[in-house]
A and B are shown apart, each in its own frame.
Chain A
Amino acid sequence: MKRVQFSSPYLPYLFLAPQMAIIFVFFYWPSVQAIQSSFYLEDPFGFGSTFVGLSNYSDALGSVQYQSIARFTVVFTALVTFLSLGIGMLLAVKADAVLKGSAAYKTLLIWVYAIAPPVAGLMGMMFFDQHIGPLVKFAALFGWDMKVGLNYNDTAIAMIIVSVWKQIPYNFIFILSGLQSIPASVREAAAIDCRSGTRRFWTMTLPLLAPTAFFLLVINMTYALFDTFGVIDVMVKDKAANNPITLVYKVYMDGFRGNDLGGSSAQSVILMIVVFVLTIFQFRFIERRVHYN
Chain B
Amino acid sequence: MNRIRLLDHLVLMLGVFVMVAPVVVAFMTSTHEAADIHRNGLSLAWGGHFTETYNTVLTREGGFTGKITGARMIWNSLILGIGFAAGKIVLSMLAAYAIVYFRFRLGTLFFWMIFTTLLLPLEVRILPSYEVMNKLSLTNTYTGLIVPLLASATGTFFFRQFFKSVPEELLEAARIDGAGPFKFFIDVLVPLSRTMIAAIFIIMFVYGWNQYLWPTLMTTDERFFTLVRGIKQILLVWVGSNIPDYNEAFALAILAMLPPVMIVLIFQRWFIKGLTESDK
* Interface positions of B from 97 to 146, Cβ below 8 Å from A: 97-104, 106-107, 110, 113-114, 117-121, 123-132, 136
Least Cβ–Cβ distance between A241 and chain B, in angstroms = 15
Least Cβ–Cβ distance between B206 and chain A, in angstroms = 5
Do A226 and B37 touch (CB < 8 A)? no
Interface presence of A69 (CB below 8 A) = no
If A109-B15, A215-B280, A268-B125 touch, does A18 touch B171 (CB 8 Å cutoff)?
no
Could you tell me the dominant secondary structure of chain B's interface residues? helix
Least Cβ–Cβ distance between B205 and chain A, in angstroms = 10
If A20-B113, A98-B8, A251-B124 touch, does A127 touch B98 (CB 8 Å cutoff)?
no
- Chain B's closest residue to A113 (CB) is B264
From the candidates A91, A119, A215, A229, name the one contacting B123 in the complex (CB within 8 A). A229
| Contact pattern, A 250-281, Cβ under 8 Å of B = 1, otherwise 0 | 01100110000100110010011001100100
Could you tell me the dominant secondary structure of chain A's interface residues? helix
If A26-B151, A33-B132, A279-B119 touch, does A6 touch B103 (CB 8 Å cutoff)?
yes
* Interface positions of A from 97 to 121, Cβ below 8 Å from B: 97-99, 101, 105, 107-119, 121
Stretch binding the partner chain, chosen from A51-59, A73-81, A165-173: A165-173
The listed residue with most B CB atoms (<10 A of its CB), out of A27, A168, A275, is A27
Interface residues on A, range: 35 or more
Do B11 and A91 touch (CB < 8 A)? yes
Interface residues on B, range: 35 or more
| Contact pattern, A 26-38, Cβ under 8 Å of B = 1, otherwise 0 | 1101110110010
Least Cβ–Cβ distance between A226 and chain B, in angstroms = 4
Do A108 and B280 touch (CB < 8 A)? no
Contacts of A97 in B (CB 8 A): 5, 8
| Contact pattern, A 1-14, Cβ under 8 Å of B = 1, otherwise 0 | 11111111001110
| Contact pattern, A 219-232, Cβ under 8 Å of B = 1, otherwise 0 | 10010001001100
Q: How far apart are the CA atoms of A174 and B9 in the complex, in Å?
A: 20
Interface presence of A284 (CB below 8 A) = no
Chain B residues with CB under 8 Å of chain A are: 4-5, 8-9, 11-12, 15-16, 18-20, 22-23, 25-26, 29, 37-38, 41-42, 90-92, 94-95, 97-104, 106-107, 110, 113-114, 117-121, 123-132, 136, 147-148, 150-152, 156, 164, 168, 171-172, 175, 181, 184, 206, 209-213, 216-217, 228, 231-232, 234-236, 239, 246, 249-250, 252-253, 256-257, 260-261, 263-265, 268, 271-272, 275-276, 279-280
